[in-house]
């Protein structure tokens, strides 16, 4: 499931060092992404964990929330403690 965070809550997390990560494919990402997001596609996230800081919040999204949910579960198994799945990209375009 995903967290229903407001735009303000997401901005506050990012201000305190939160990492906004888009787990959609690179092709989806280049067609439009949330401001400040980095692209780490779900199929390559297991190779990219060293680029994600365990001590800072991780805010994940995709198209529907399914891939970001899988990424959240994976990161939590690695010991990431503050991970948020905000679900679908379309819900936050206006942020």
- Which of 7, 35, 62, 95 is the catalytic position? 62
- Per-residue pLDDT tens for 24-80? 999 999 999 999 999 999 999 999 999 999 999 999 999 999 999 999 999 999 999
In the predicted structure, residue 2 carries a pLDDT above the cut 90:
no
Is 62 a catalytic site residue? yes
d(CA 25, CA 1): 21
Structure-block tokens of residue 51? 């680029």
- The answer to whether residue 1 is domain-embedded is no
- The answer to whether residue 18 is domain-embedded is yes
- The answer to whether residue 14 is domain-embedded is yes
- The answer to whether residue 39 is domain-embedded is yes
- The answer to whether residue 2 is domain-embedded is no
Domain count for the chain, please give it. Answer: 1
Q: What is the pLDDT of residue 56?
A: 96
The whole model's pTM is what?
A: 0.95
> Tell me, what DSSP letter sits at residue 78?
T
In the predicted structure, residue 20 carries a pLDDT above the cut 80:
yes
In the predicted structure, residue 1 carries a pLDDT above the cut 90:
no
Q: What is the pLDDT of residue 84?
A: 97
């Amino acid at each position: 499931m995903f967290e229903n965070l407001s735009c303000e809550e997401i901005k506050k997390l990012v201000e305190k060092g939160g990492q906004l990560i888009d787990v959609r494919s690179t092709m989806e990402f280049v067609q439009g992404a949330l401001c400040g997001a980095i692209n780490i596609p779900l199929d390559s996230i297991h190779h990219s964990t060293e680029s994600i800081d365990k001590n800072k919040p991780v805010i994940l999204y995709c198209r529907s929330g399914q891939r970001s949910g899988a990424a959240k579960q994976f990161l939590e198994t690695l010991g990431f403690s503050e991970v948020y799945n905000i679900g679908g990209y379309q819900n936050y375009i206006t942020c």
